[in-house]
Amino acid sequence: MRLILFGPPGAGKGTQAKRLEEELGTPQLSTGDMLRAARRGGTELGKKAAAYMDAGKLVPDEVVVGLIEERIQKPECEKGFLLDGFPRTLPQAEALDAMLERRGQRIDHVISIEVPDEDIVHRLSQRRSCPSCGTVYHLEHMPPKEPGRCDKDGTELVQREDDKPETIKKRLEAFHAQTAPLKELYRERGLLKSVDGTKPPDGVHQEIREALGIAG
C-alpha cells in the first residue's frame, strides 16, 4: 500500500505513521525526519535546510524531492510506503507522480488528518521527541513513562526548535498557502479521505483503518 498522510504541522501524521508502519509493515518516509537527520549529521544538505526550517519555511523542492527519490528506490519500499510530510507543494506532487510513473506505481490513498489551527499551537508546544529513534510524545496526552526520557531507548527527549509559537504560526501560514491546495488535486483523483484529527490517537487510528478498508 502506498499512502500519503496529509495535514498541517502537528496534525498527528508522525504519530499515526508509526502505528501504521508497525501494522502494515511498510516504512514511514518523513521528509522532516530526513532533514533533521541531515542536520545532525552536519551534511551540506542539512546546513542548507536548517535556515528554512528554523524560519518555519518550506525547504526548496529539489532538496526534498531528492531525498524521497533516493528512498523510494530502496528494496524496503518495494511493497509500499507511508509518506509523512511529503508532498507539500504542487511541484513536489508532480515530481512524485513522475517518479512513481517511472516505476509503474501509484498512490493508493491520501489520508487528510484534520485539526483546526487553534489546536495546533497548544499541541506543538507540548510535543517532545526522541532525537535518536524519532518517537513522539505529548506532555499531557502521551507522556513518557519516565519524565524526559524515551520509553524505547532511554534517550533524553528534546523540544524541537521550530515548535516555538512564532515559528508554528509561520509553518501554519506555509501550510495554508502552499500545501492545503494539494487536497483538491487528490480529491479530484478520488484518493482523498478525511479523518477527524482532534480525536484521541486511538480514535484517529481507527478512522484511518476504516478509510483504508482494513478495519476488522
Kindly write out the interface string for residues 169-198 of this chain, putting x where it contacts ligand AMP by CB under 6 A and - elsewhere: --x---------------------------
34 binds ligand ADP (CB under 6 A): no
| Cell (9 digits) for 151 | 520509553
Measured from the CB atom, the residue of 59 and 82 that comes closer to ligand AMP is 59
Indicate whether 205 belongs to the interface with ligand ADP (CB under 6 A).
Answer: no
Is there a contact between 197 and 204 (Cβ–Cβ < 8 Å)? yes
Which residues in the chain belong to E strands, given as ranges?
2-6, 28-30, 81-84, 109-114, 127-129, 136-138, 192-196
Beta pairing class for 81-84 and 2-6: parallel
User: What CA–CA distance (Å, rounded) separates 83 from 27?
Assistant: 9
Is 127 assigned a catalytic role?
yes
Q: Which residues contact 80 (CB under 8 A, 6 or more apart)?
A: 1, 2, 3, 24, 26
The only residue of 2, 4, 7, 83 in contact with ligand ADP, by rule CB under 6 A: 7
Comparison of 96 and 179: residue with beta carbon closer to ligand ADP: 179
171 catalytic, yes or no?
yes
Q: Which of 192, 182, 198 is nearest to 212 (CA)?
A: 192
The option from ligand AMP, ligand ADP, none interacting with 179 (CB < 5 to 8 A, set by class) reads none
Instruction: Verify whether residue 19 is a known catalytic residue.
Output: no
Query: Quick one: what does residue 141 bind among ligand ADP, ligand AMP, none, with the CB cut-off 5 to 8 Å set by partner type?
Result: ligand ADP
| 88 belongs to the catalytic site | yes
Question: What is the closest distance, in whole angstroms, from the C-beta atom of residue 110 to ligand AMP in the complex?
Answer: 14
Q: What is the phi/psi pair of residue 113, to 5°? A: -95, 115
Instruction: Answer for the pair 134, 173: CB distance below 8 angstroms, yes or no.
Output: no
Cβ closest to ligand ADP, residue 46 vs residue 134: 134
Residues that bind ligand ADP (CB under 6 A): 7, 9-15, 123, 126-127, 136-138, 141-142, 197, 199-201, 204
Active site residues: 13, 88, 127, 160, 171
